[in-house]
Amino acid sequence: MTPVFVFVTALLPLVHGGLLLGIPGARLAAGNTSVASSFSRSVAPVSTSTSSADFSISSTLPTSSVAGIAAVPRKRAAIPACLKTVELSCLNLAANCIDSVNAGNVNTLWSIKSCVAAGTCYGVGDLITSVECQTGFIVTNSAQAALPTSIYNGIVMGCTSCAITQQNYIDFYYGQLTAVNSANFPSSSAVVKAFWSVITTWAATGSTVPYKNFNDWLHFSSFPVTTTTTTTPVTTYTQITWNPNPAPTSGAVSETFVTSTITVIIAIPTATTSVVVGGTSITLAPGGTPINSPLPPGISIPGATTPTWNPNIIPPTSVPSVTFTAPPSFTTIVAVPTASNSPPKNITGPPGDKNSDGNNWWLLLFPGVIGGLLPADIGIPGGVKPTAAPPPDWTGAWTDPDPTSTSTHNSASASSSASSSSSSCPQPTGAYSLSDDAENSDWDGLGSDPDRRRSNVMTIAARAGRSMTLPVCGIDTANGNVITNPNTVSLGAGTYYTIGTKAAGGTSIALNPIVVNSRPVGNGAGTVAQEHIFEIGYIRQFFESINSQSISCTWIVNNVYNQAGWDGRTWALSLLQEIDQVPNMVWVDKPMNQAKSNVVNRNKATAADPPQKANIDKISDFSTPVSVNSIQDVEYFIRNFAALGTYFSNTAGRFQATALRVQNRLTQITPNTPDVNLPVAFNAWLRSLLTNYPSGCTSRATNVFNYYHTKMTNIANQHNSVVPQCFPLFPTGINPQSFTWQNLVPPPPTLPSCNIPGTQGTWQFGFNPNGSPEKGLATFRVMGAGRSDFYGFGTGADFSGAHLVAGDLSTTPGCANGAVSIGLTGPGVPAGLPDVLLSPQCNGQSGKQTVPISFVLNGQTLSCASIYTNQSVTGNQGIIIQIICAGSAAVATTCANSVLSSTYPTGHLLTGSMTFIPS
């Protein structure tokens, strides 16, 4: 049977010969003011306004994925969201550059003069990130052609063999601004000199920079500042458990254990077993390898083989060729042998490159396997670098067979730090012990992270579940008003972001994603945290923000915190649970977690009071173990802070996906009063918050380094000495990483600007032939429909209550495919009918507005015709309004006229637009 909805006057019992399936209770009624005298058959369907820019029609929620962003058609103009915030003359150059890039020149960026100029002020890595954002191309530095000598000649005024002077650079920079018709020039030449100074410092060739070094700067100075969210193939890391104990050779039938006094021989075990040798119990895996702890000293297993670790990067599988890279500019692409009897390819690395066997060559074998050992600085884009981890239940000593792989893949810095530490420098200890800044100890108020162990109280809170509070509204933990996730969500297998261990030392800030099966060892017990990328505390920060913009605590508490949502959970709990999910978690070293807290909590923001100030202040000398350990901890912390921008960048996808879940949850809320459009306000708040994060990362990293540097210098001066060369970061400094904050934010909702959820009012269906308006009696409410494009409409308290749905009329005589009758959900109405959404035609206005409304079904804007009848002739007393809609006005009108003549012979169609009149 075809469901048909009618809106009837208040007293009408709705029984209609089985044809009509209506809405018992008759909550919606036409007014009793209208008197039909004569009527016109002309029908004025609701204007569809297909050209209106306010509405886009989409049957799905916008996705947050990078693929979705990349699919946006590219405009021939710089996309503002692709640009970072910089000095305006520089921004003009960058905009001109990214606008100039196309498929034909994407690998010859440095043949575009504005790109060369932009690279010098904007940062090469950031510029490439912006190019990728603008074009959707994947841009690699190694693929970029060299700076053409013609451009270089222009910079050095035709003196090809000369190095670039500061004056050359200033002239080039201003010349490019003129060439791109820049609207902005630097406020003074000091601005440009500062750009140049960064380059001369990097090049370390004095006050001028020769071609080779300038070209190197363009290719290697800061790429990649921000990797990822793109599919750029980089070497990733995977953790493999490493049992260093000897294993019996395959085919052996017995296993022999020998001490100085006894010999024990057993059959090769086929199940986990244990053997007692001289009073010591040894657990053996099937096959006979000792597990869980090192083979006890004094016991050997003759004939068993001690495994050797293969540190080679594993190339991507099933590829026709493998790319090998090495800094600064070595790239070679080698075809994979095609058959098992094809000769191996013998590859020679860049001059001077040697593997641990002293060779400069290695082999590529069928079907894409490395033979021999790769030199340590060779990379394979898309390859996987194995790193070793102790087996899960391992106790006792365990030695990393390849410590460099877990610390850094920048062999240059690794080897230089190794050579400089050959003197009597104390090696870093494994433990990292800097305490948190006191400012971050109240994090519970912002939402506890899974692994926070700030205090005993915190430990209890963390174990009891994730909580958040809204102290600004008088809710605080002391009173027990905490919203807690009753489910414990824990990260097991996942991604571990690390710059390597503190013990490896060095100056690297290269952040590597390592896939792990469980909590990594990191720098020792309690030094690796499972972290929420999108913080739980953002919920409180957001509501504090709207509270400060005159949204009352009562409103927030009644409409969100304590209000049950569609599924019975309070909105606050469902928001918390959108965040507290494994996909929003990664493993991260404690110092990175601490650095992020400084930025997220917006504290320790000045040069005089930088992050970790208290611990830096405690450093008193360069030799006592306590001070040395603190200095090493501080250097490790600073390196983590410098990599924080990359961490934000690398986790942008998780951040954005979680933010979108929160935003989508907010689209479901229908408050009592329309004081704020929550998903729209959330997106705007998040944008304004994140705008400050890139500089929040770089300025704090710079501040803490400078504070540390000053402290060390002061200690040296006090002792009339110099800072020992044992602290590698001290002389080199850091280049803190920035990131593109836009990649973290979901697309803003495209919701209508007026009559936001919570607005109540009257639905005017149209006009009677005598010109009198026909209005519903019931109060209708604009609802959050869980959509970022349109609202819901109905008489329920929210969208889980009575709201508009569509019943199919396509089999009703006179009605074509796509014709529907729209009405409210409720008793007697079949479940599962598609929702009808509301599109008020705000025309740029906000607030409560009396405006025409149209309806949207499955992404299509409907045209509707309203039937009016005083149904007294069939025994049902009262006025009936039936609304029939379709994708086209013709289909809706034809269907409505057919229903009119067959069912409501005394009725007529209303004319004019359907309108919402807020109360």
Residues in touch with ligand NAG (CB under 6 A): 31-33, 35-36, 346, 348, 361, 363, 777, 870, 872, 879
Spatial CA neighbour of 55 closest among 736, 751, 606: 751
Cis before 367? omega within 30: yes
766 Cβ contact list (under 8 Å, min separation 6): 44, 773, 774, 866, 909, 910, 911, 912, 913, 914
Taking the complex as a whole, how short is the minimal distance between the CB of residue 876 and ligand NAG, in angstroms? Answer: 11
> Cα(387)–Cα(343) distance, rounded to whole angstroms?
30
Cβ closer to ligand NAG: 376 or 777?
Answer: 777
Query: Strand pairing partners for 587?
Result: 496, 530
Taking the complex as a whole, how short is the minimal distance between the CB of residue 878 and ligand NAG, in angstroms? Answer: 7
Cβ closer to ligand NAG: 32 or 455?
Answer: 32
374 Cβ contact list (under 8 Å, min separation 6): 311, 312, 313, 324, 355, 362
Cβ closer to ligand NAG: 349 or 728?
Answer: 349
Cβ closer to ligand NAG: 35 or 478?
Answer: 35
Q: At which residue do the structure tokens 């909702």 appear?
A: 749
In SS3 terms, 231-263 reads as CCCCCEEEEEECCCCCECCCCCCEEEEECCCCE
Cβ closer to ligand NAG: 461 or 881?
Answer: 881
Taking the complex as a whole, how short is the minimal distance between the CB of residue 10 and ligand NAG, in angstroms? Answer: 9
Cβ closer to ligand NAG: 697 or 879?
Answer: 879
> Cα(12)–Cα(301) distance, rounded to whole angstroms?
93
DSSP code, position 782: E
> Cα(183)–Cα(92) distance, rounded to whole angstroms?
7
Taking the complex as a whole, how short is the minimal distance between the CB of residue 341 and ligand NAG, in angstroms? Answer: 16
- HSE-CB for 473 with a 13 A CA cutoff: 26
717 Cβ contact list (under 8 Å, min separation 6): none
Taking the complex as a whole, how short is the minimal distance between the CB of residue 60 and ligand NAG, in angstroms? Answer: 39
Cβ closer to ligand NAG: 300 or 779?
Answer: 779
Taking the complex as a whole, how short is the minimal distance between the CB of residue 14 and ligand NAG, in angstroms? Answer: 16
Taking the complex as a whole, how short is the minimal distance between the CB of residue 9 and ligand NAG, in angstroms? Answer: 8
Query: Strand pairing partners for 855?
Result: 838
Coil, strand or helix: which one is 735? coil
Query: Are the C-beta atoms of residues 6 and 22 closer than 8 Å to each other?
Result: yes
Coil, strand or helix: which one is 912? coil
Cβ closer to ligand NAG: 64 or 870?
Answer: 870
Cβ closer to ligand NAG: 346 or 606?
Answer: 346
> Cα(144)–Cα(407) distance, rounded to whole angstroms?
28
Taking the complex as a whole, how short is the minimal distance between the CB of residue 32 and ligand NAG, in angstroms? Answer: 4
Query: Strand pairing partners for 791?
Result: 838
Cβ closer to ligand NAG: 252 or 365?
Answer: 365
Burial string for 316-342 (b: 16+ CB within 10 Å, else e) reads beeeeebbbbbeeebeeebebbeeeee
Residue type, 723: V
Q: For residue 328, what are the CA distances in angstroms to 213, 378, 693, 735?
A: 11, 11, 30, 18
Taking the complex as a whole, how short is the minimal distance between the CB of residue 531 and ligand NAG, in angstroms? Answer: 46
Taking the complex as a whole, how short is the minimal distance between the CB of residue 363 and ligand NAG, in angstroms? Answer: 6
Encoding tokens for residue 376? 């340590």
Taking the complex as a whole, how short is the minimal distance between the CB of residue 877 and ligand NAG, in angstroms? Answer: 7
Cβ closer to ligand NAG: 321 or 872?
Answer: 872
> Cα(220)–Cα(327) distance, rounded to whole angstroms?
9
